[in-house]
Structure 1
Amino acid sequence: MKKISTKISLFILIGIIISACNAEKRVPDGKQLLASNQIIVNGKKINTEDVHEQLYQKPNGTFLGYRLRLNLYNLANLNPDSTYQAKFTNHPGKYERKSKWLSAKQVDRLGKSFWYHGIHDFLKKTGEPPVIIDTIKTQKSVSRLKYYYFNNGYFDVKVNSQHDTVKPKRGKIKYEITTNNAYTLDTIKAIISSHQLDSLYKNAKETSIIKSGNQFKTIDFSDEKNRLSNYFRNHGAYYFQPTSIVFDIDTIGKKHKANVNINIGNYSYQDKDSTIVEPYKLYKISSVDIYTDYAPNTNKQNITDSISYQNFNLYGREKIKYKPRAITNAVFISKGSLFADYKTVLTSRYFSNLKIFNAPSIQYEIDKKDSLHNSLIAKIYLTPRKKYSFQASSDFTHSNIQDIGISFSPSLTIRNIFNGAETLEISARANVGSSKDLANPNNQFFNVSEYGVDLKLNFPRIFLPFSTEKIIPKSMIPSTQIGIGYATQKNIGLDKENFTGAFTYNWNPKQNNTARFDLLNIQFVHNLNPQNYFNVYSSSYRALNALGKIYNINPDYVDTDNNLIIDQGAAGFIVDALTQQTSLTPQSKEYKEILSIAERRVRLSENNFILASNFTFTKTTKKDLKDNNFYQFKAKIETAGSLLSLLSKTIGLDKNSNGNYDIFKLEYSEYAKTEFDYIKHWDLSRQNVLALRTFFGIAVPFGNSDYIPFSRSYFAGGSNDNRAWQPYSLGPGKTESILDFNEANMKIALSAEYRFKILGDLKGALFADAGNIWNVFDNVTDKKATFNNLSSLKDLALGSGFGLRYDLSFFVVRFDFGFKTFNPAEESGKKWFRDYNFGHSVLNFGINYPF
């Protein structure tokens, strides 16, 4: 009853606050607050964003239908200094009394404090002043609407505005638009002064944006001007200027049609006091000169070394330290070819990607040796970065598993290590942390640690004994990376060493596409403390111990309290039970439960050797960090162990007692894995964004394996997944999640999030996350955990909630509250909204958006 009365009181209080906020509080007499804009086009109301964006005045913003920022502004005192002084004016002697126990200076400074002044400055800055209807701005809106429709071909458009009163101090503006018929393009002719440009235009005419029969749109003419300018400059017209293109629109004597004349004049430039006009001409590259160690702060380069290599000229102030091929491979500008802007861009992009030079400077000048002055010398100025660079970073972290973490990561980069523009990066990492949730028998504060070192060698080309130029041309900026790494971890109690190696090819098939092929991806996981398994996975131990108290027959396996001794007693009881030395039979439920615990123990505590190959393709339409209207698609295919199986069969290796092959006395993993990840964002205007993510992944063991190693399996829950569950706590399937770290080999995830602005850089989100993990095609037989057919989709868990995000420009701090909306692990009738309250909510902290 007390909780109910508290909630009722809270709702009443909120209602009082909202009702006390008068939206028209600061609207002057005789003026009106703009309540809404209404646009009627040819008798129909429209809400098209592009049209509404033409209006000079828009109503105050709302949060869930409530004018939050306006009411915050109305709560502010616009003249806090006058109010503070009035306290003393209206109460003579008060200033003197305060000055007796506070100095006069402190009393004056009190008026500038947060409570008297700062809070009102905050409310004014955070809030939004009322939008007062302004007739001048209304007329500007009429003009902009007329201009907008005119630019879309409605030359006879008529726009009127009407001011309607909603309340004494509140009004709305209605804009009525009659477009009449739109004009379409009729005859299109081109008049080009330069014969060389005229020939180019005929080749580019078919892909023209403006075509006969299209509706007139100003934007199309702008796009066509850019298209022609790019085409000309990419086909030799070095001096071409977009201003030379003029469109002449003729509607005289036409009924809703317009003739278009494309006029492209000659090149004009200033030569001292004279203006020179001459036809545009096309230029070829007569020489490509590369300055490998250019000093930008001096005009005296003092060239002492030079190399001529495959029609390229390399110059150096000192002895050239690069193999010529390493430099010329990055250059797309070639001797004898026509000048092309895109080649300049590609060359600059390639050199920047090498990471051994600063951004290059590429300049062109007329070759004076050419009597016709139709040739250009391309000069590429390269300023090398330091050969050695050292970086270090430290970080304090917090996660759902680690309460506090301190990390330090130094790295050393060595550039041009073999004189072929290669880079070698040597990095180390050290992390110590504390977690109260993990096994910690010695009660140490820092009970989590990781130390590691990685070496990455990058070659700016495909490293193969044969040429791949026809398959992966250098315009795709290919590279090869060889990496090895070692890490030792002390985290969840098993402790492990992790050895990794990779031989990777990277390239960009298109500007926004990336491809990665791991020819070899090697991982060896060595568990250092497998006997500590039941200390770590306490849920498994409790389930096993409960069965041991009933079925164990060996007194050496238990302590004085009849609990199974870790590890000898627990392991011994498992062996006895599975070899039918107890009263349990393979048909019994308890036998199957012990078998499941045993299989999981083997899976999570045994060493793993993985030799895999994988291919990853990513495509995105995202232009920059602020782009809120894009999609991203990522697909990955991976196979492991098949090469080792082929070799084992070829050389006739014997199988072990489990019927599998060993490498270094270790059963290697064999599986096929595929993943698909799709993200879509819709910009709903005014910083409102709808984001969607779908993910599907499956890994199928075969041959030498009947399950997927832990490092390659899937888990559900966490700040970037289903936010109503902690990491590893959801699934598999409709199991009750009694295990400490739940994983499986198939995953489906779906997330939708609506993001909106609240106040300034503070933003909010409403989200729903659906998904789960299952076992499929492996050795798990529990029907609750396995994916059998499409009917298993009814076990998709659903979490929903809200989040707060603060945008710091360079990253976003995120807090999300997730609530279990549909929990497949609950019994029938209790799956929906069973734990939908703050007491059972999950608070997720993250950096940047989840997707």
Structure 2
Amino acid sequence: MRKNSTKIAAFILIAIFISACNAVKRVPNGKKLLTKNEIIVNDKPIKDENIFNQLYQKPNSTLIGGYKLRLNLYNLANPNPDSTFAAKFKNNPKKYERLSKLLSAKQVDRLGQSFLYKGINDFFKTTGEPPVIIDTSKTKKSSMRLKYHYFHNGYFNVKTAFTIDSISAKKAKIRYTVTTGQPYLLDTITTSISSPDLDSLYNKSVENTLLKTGKQYRTSDLEDEKNRITTYFRNHGIYYFQSNNVTYDIDTINKKNKANLDLIIKDYSYQDKDSTRTMPFKIYKISDVNIYTDYSAANAKLQITDSTTYKNFNLYSYKKLKYKPYAITDAIFITKGSLFADFKTTLTTRYLNNLKIFNYPSIHYELDKRDSTAQSLIAKIYLTPRKKYSFQTTLDVTHSNIQDFGIGFSLSETIRNVFNGAETLEISGRVNVGSSQDLANPNGTFFNASEYGLDIKLNVPRILMPFGTEKIIPKSMIPSTIMTAGFAKQRNIGLDKENFTGAFTYNWTPKRNNTARVDLLNIQYVRNLNPQNYFKVYRSSYNALNSISQGYNYPQKPGFVDSNDNLIIESGTTGFTQDVLNNTIPVSSNDYQSVESIEERRMRLTENDFILASNYTFTKTTKKDLLDNTFYLFKAKIESAGSLLTLISKAADLQKNTNGNYRIFNLEYSEYIKTEFDYIKHWDLTKEKVLAVRTFFGIAIPFGNSNYVPFSRSYYSGGSNDNRAWQPYSLGPGSTGAVNDFNEANMKIALSAEFRYKILGKLKGAIFADAGNIWNVLDNVTDDKATFKNFSDLKDIALGTGIGFRYDLSFFVIRFDLGFKTYNPAYELGNRWFKEYNFGHSVLNFGINYPF
């Protein structure tokens, strides 16, 4: 506690010191620090960030609450550290001499360039932000820019002005005033299109025009209409057309707040030697598609030695052709006899790039000189193969829900075009050693957990089915088939496991930002190697069972209890459980139910699992690129497991075991249906502030051959990507208070909100709130506190709040989050708010990248 108090006191002192900095410390005499911009439009103040972005000068950045951290950091810097050092030592011969004897003259001179004298000041300058001094010339430019902004939005009679209001001797704010007048509306809209082909195409698309009579004039609409027309024309055969071929004539003469607009497209103009010529725009068709399958700068000088024609595609190779023709042509959307279209070029580029066997493809068009009408193009597609074999190794430092710290090494081999059909085969192996304080670790060693595994993945760039799927999933959706198989073995992690997995998967993209995935078969077999370790790992179950046994003086049998009457694992725990459930030892009904529940959980978590599932996942996002901070992502998944095996078992008239369940490979297979919905929404609040929200709901219902969901398919709550005020697996189910180790259930609700803001440089902060919990529903758990019976159980949704810090390293983000238990359903109603809202019960999470 004393250490924490010292840290808090030091933090407060630093904050007071920084706050004491004079904001105008670096403002020269006669100058003013810009403290605020005001924009008054038609006598009303506005807050529109888009309008404020027109200004050339903005006040220094602030944190939440208006504190100018970066300005104060800059003010802490010594502007002339060299002079300060010289004044302290070099201009003081005696002091310089004494220090030179202690160090040396050379070391004293170097001291002036050290972090203590120069480095720290450079840090404050680069990390901080210099004061924004009001510049009248920039203020005038801002006023003019405001005028242009409103002018381009139809306010042709707009007037702007500004005043600089002094707040103190070195502080001032700027007030901009804007009088817009009435906006101009589009009146008569006409077109002047010289080329007959263009005029015909335009009339076919005019219903989609962005320019309509009565609509307010906006320059942006004119530009958008240019782009719309250009896209439409270039997707309908007009090869030479560019957006600058569209111009406008705007007439406001003798018009009151109205403007006539004439859209003008002249004939195609081109340079022919020393003269400029014009001709009408024409519609071009593709006469040939030539594909060069092994192009390179070196090969370009060689002669073609191998070629073939397949479905009107011409394939050429400088060496022996190494690809089955359909493997390449399936990815080509530019076809002989079709009109030139930009979207086909883009789609072809995407598909070819998605094959991952070529470098980024190059597509060119040439005028076909064989066509006397000069309206034909030859499409030339240049493909440069990647290396057939590539080897990669990685070394990772990891943190997960199981391991507090881990070091992983992996190596992988990628073989491209493995069967000459553009397939990609990946073989990878991995080894991981780690440490976890939650695992059974009798020797107290730091690296107490290990895992190794092998994975094989074959990617085929088409749907593999015994019948054609082009009508259902056309090749424009970039379909692929993925076959995977994997093996992993864990040691000293829980009960230790062997995990065998396999999947046969279809992927495709119905639209640009939509993806669909079907796991036709998803197989998992989990084998627990040391089930006898259960009570060593799940200590809460052992403590509960041991406490019950001591209440009945169990037993006076050698090898069942130790000298302190504690149950010996495994002989004592097994013996006591069997004696209770066989009624050999009379116990109370409550204790009987507790022992029965403990044994049920032990059986469930130590039983080997065999899962044969099929699932469908759909994902939709509006995110355009990495810099897009206003988007949403929706993901839905439905999974069915075991039903196929049940149909086979019934058809084969297999016998059920004593539990009334079917067995496959001497295992009771799992049968359940599971569905999940995940929705993420981001809002860009400008000035590098982002509000992010996530909602999640998932439920897995066992039936038929199962009365519970396997541990690997169940849900948990808590952790760095969930409710950050609780450790992983330490929240729920319901209001039970996480009495077990590794708490899990088959239904989950989660909601999170996070406000992200810039602190300084690449350091960013966050304020977050996480709500949610897990429950058991329609399974074999009977504890009322753990089960979800009706909507009144939503009162058991936990709430965690906290603050976070992120540091952006460009290729990934390092994240620290400190979560506080704000509403804890483990306590009785009326006593749940802020019960453990303190540093002692807080949780510090470390993560890579953002939580959602």
Instruction: Please report the TM-score for the alignment, with normalisation by the length of structure 2.
Output: 0.97
- Cα distance in 2 for partners of 1:41, 1:239 equals 45
Q: Which residue of structure 1 lines up, in the alignment, with residue 34 of structure 2? A: 34
Aligned counterparts, 1:77-226, within 5 A: 77-88=78-89, 91-226=92-227
Could you tell me which residue of structure 1 aligns to residue 557 of structure 2? Answer: 555
Show the counterpart of 1:681: 682
**What residue is the counterpart of 2:621 in the other structure?**
620
Aligned to 1:802: 803
1:247 maps to 2:248: yes
Residues 508 and 515 of structure 2 are in contact (CA less than 8 Å); yes or no, is this contact kept in structure 1? yes
Q: 1: distance between equivalents of 2:101 and 2:431?
A: 58
- 2:594 partner SS: helix
What is aligned with 2:491? 490
Displacement, 1:196? 0.6
Q: Give 1:401 deviation, angstroms.
A: 3.9
Q: Note the C-alpha offset of 1:298.
A: 4.4
CA contact (8 A) 2:555 2:561 kept: no
Per-residue deviation, 1:493:
3.3
Residue of structure 2 equivalent to 1:730: 731
Distance 1:355 1:14, change over 3 A: closer
* Kept in 1: contact 2:450–2:493 (CA 8 A): no
What secondary structure does 1:577 align onto? helix
Query: Equivalent residue for 1:836?
Result: 837
Residue 50 (structure 2) pairs with residue 67 (structure 1): no
Cα displacement string for residues 370-425 of structure 1 (whole angstroms, at most 9, x for unaligned residues): 11111111111111111111111111224464243221111111111111111111
Aligned to 2:447: 446
- State the partner residue of 1:471: 472
8 Å CA contact 2:19–2:72 kept in 1: the answer is: no
CA RMSD of aligned residues (A): 1.7
Instruction: State the secondary structure of the residue aligned to 2:123.
Output: helix
1:295 partner SS: coil
Partner of 1:581: 584
Measure the CA separation in 2 of the matches of 1:168 and 1:443. Answer: 67
Whole-Å separation in 2 of the counterparts to 1:3 and 1:297: 68
Q: Gaps (5+ residues) in structure 2?
A: none
Residues 339 and 452 (structure 1), Cα distance of their counterparts in 2 relative to 1, 3 Å cut: same
The Cα of 1:654 is off from its aligned counterpart by 1.1
Q: How far does the alpha carbon of each residue in 1:272-301 deviate from its partner, in whole angstroms, 9 at most, with x for none?
A: 222121111011001111111112334323
Asked if the contact 1:764/1:802 (under 8 Å) is kept, the reply is yes
Q: CA deviation at 1:490?
A: 1.3
Q: Contact conserved, 1:620 with 1:631, CA < 8 A, in 2? A: yes
1-structure distance, mates of 2:8, 2:722: 35
Counterparts of 1:689-768 in structure 2, within 5 Å, are: 689-768=690-769
Aligned twin of 1:20? 20
Q: Is the 8 A contact 1:553 1:582 kept in 2?
A: no
Q: For 1:337, what is the secondary structure of its paired residue?
A: coil
Counterpart CA distance in 1 for 2:262 and 2:404 is 71
Which aligned pairs between 1:271-282 and structure 2 lie closer than 5 A?
271-282=272-283
Tell me, yes or no, if structure 1 residue 518 matches structure 2 residue 526. Answer: no
| Partner Cα separation in structure 2 for residue 561 and residue 751 of structure 1 | 47
The Cα of 1:516 is off from its aligned counterpart by 0.4
One-letter code aligned to 2:155 = Y
- C-alpha spacing 1:399/1:523, structure 2 compared with 1 (3 Å): closer
Q: After alignment, is 441-450 or 206-215 more displaced?
A: 441-450
Match for residue 630 of structure 1? 631
Secondary structure, aligned partner of 2:773: strand
- How many Å separate the matches in 1 of 2:702 and 2:26? 70
Q: Aligned partners of 1:268, 1:518: CA distance in 2, in Å? A: 54
Contact 1:294 1:301 in 2 (8 A): no
Query: Relative to structure 2, which stretch is displaced further, 816-825 or 826-835?
Result: 826-835
Q: CA deviation at 1:177?
A: 1.1
Distance across 1 between alignment mates of 2:444 and 2:824:
35
Query: Structure 1 residues 380, 547: closer, same or farther in 2, change over 3 A?
Result: same
CA contact (8 A) 2:714 2:746 kept: yes
How far is the alpha carbon of 1:95 from its aligned partner? Answer: 2.1
Is 1:424–1:458's contact at 8 Å kept on the other side of the alignment? yes
| CA distance in 1 between partners of 2:159 and 2:645 (Å) | 76
Corresponding residue to 1:568 among 537, 557, 571: 571
Counterpart amino acid of 1:190?
Answer: T
- Cα deviation for residue 574 of structure 1 reads 1.4
Q: Any conservation in 2 of the 1:456–1:482 contact (CA below 8 Å)?
A: yes
Distance 2:2 2:379 in 1: 82
Query: Distance between the aligned counterparts of 1:841 and 1:199, measured in 2?
Result: 69
Q: What is the CA deviation profile of residues 550-592 of structure 1, one whole-angstrom value per residue up to 9, with x for unaligned ones?
A: 233462532333221211221222122122222125xx22111
Letter of the structure 2 residue corresponding to residue 53 of structure 1: N
Range moving further from structure 2, 307-316 or 94-103: 94-103
Aligned residue for 2:300, secondary structure, equals coil
Q: What are the Cα deviations for residues 129-168 of structure 1, in whole angstroms up to 9, with x where unaligned? A: 1111121111111101000001111111111111111122
Between the aligned partners of 2:114 and 2:440, the Cα distance in structure 1 is 50
Instruction: Show the counterpart of 2:262.
Output: 261
Q: Equivalent residue for 1:46?
A: 46
In structure 2, relative to structure 1, the CA distance for the partners of 1:8 and 1:692 (3 Å cut) is: closer
Q: Report the CA distance between 1:593 and its aligned residue.
A: 1.2
Q: Which amino acid aligns with 1:808?
A: L
Q: Deviations over 1:297-340 (max 9, x none)?
A: 34323111111111111111122111111111000001100000
| Residue type at the aligned position of 1:567 | E
Tell me the distance in 2 between the aligned counterparts of 1:569 and 1:708.
29
Gap regions ≥5 residues in structure 1: none
Deviation at 1:548, TM superposition (A): 1.2
1:233 aligns with 2:240: no
Q: Tell me if structure 2 keeps the 8 A contact 1:296–1:383.
A: no
- The secondary structure found in structure 2 opposite 1:598 is helix
Alpha carbons of structure 1 residues 12 and 380: separation in structure 2 relative to 1, 3 Å: closer
Letter of the structure 2 residue corresponding to residue 17 of structure 1: F
Aligned equivalents of 1:11, 1:461: Cα separation in 2: 60
Q: Which amino acid aligns with 2:36?
A: S
In the alignment, the residues of structure 2 paired with residue 30 and residue 447 of structure 1 have an alpha-carbon distance, to the nearest angstrom, of 68
The AA in structure 2 aligned to 1:509 is: P
Aligned partner of 2:75: which letter? N
**Mapped partners of 1:670, 1:16: distance in 2:** 62
How far apart are the structure 2 equivalents of 1:510 and 1:193?
Answer: 36
Which range moves more in the overlay, 461-470 or 575-584? 575-584
Structure 1 residue 16: Cα displacement: 4.1
Does the 8 Å contact 1:184/1:256 carry over to 2? Answer: yes
Greater mean deviation of Cα atoms: 575-584 or 315-324: 575-584
- Partners in 2 of 1:527 and 1:12 — Cα distance? 52
Q: Secondary structure at the match of 1:308?
A: strand
- The 8 Å contact of residues 268 and 277 in structure 1, kept in 2 or not, is answered as yes
Query: Letter of the aligned partner of 2:335 in structure 1?
Result: S
Whole-angstrom CA distance in 2 between matches of 1:5 and 1:562 = 43
1:295-444 aligned within 5 A: 295-399=296-400, 401-444=402-445
Asked whether the 8 Å contact 1:399–1:845 carries over to 2, the reply is no
Relative distance call for 1:779 and 1:355 in structure 2 (3 A) is: same
**CA deviation map 1:514-536 (0-9, x unaligned):** 11000110101111111111111
The one-letter code of the counterpart of 1:26 is R
Listed one character per residue, the Cα deviations across residues 49-84 of structure 1 (whole Å, up to 9, x for unaligned) are 100001111111111211111111111111111111
Deviation of residue 18 (structure 1)?
A: 4.4
Question: Aligned AA for 1:77?
Answer: N
Higher mean alpha-carbon deviation, 11-20 vs 210-219, is at: 11-20
Letter of the aligned partner of 1:820 in structure 2?
Answer: K
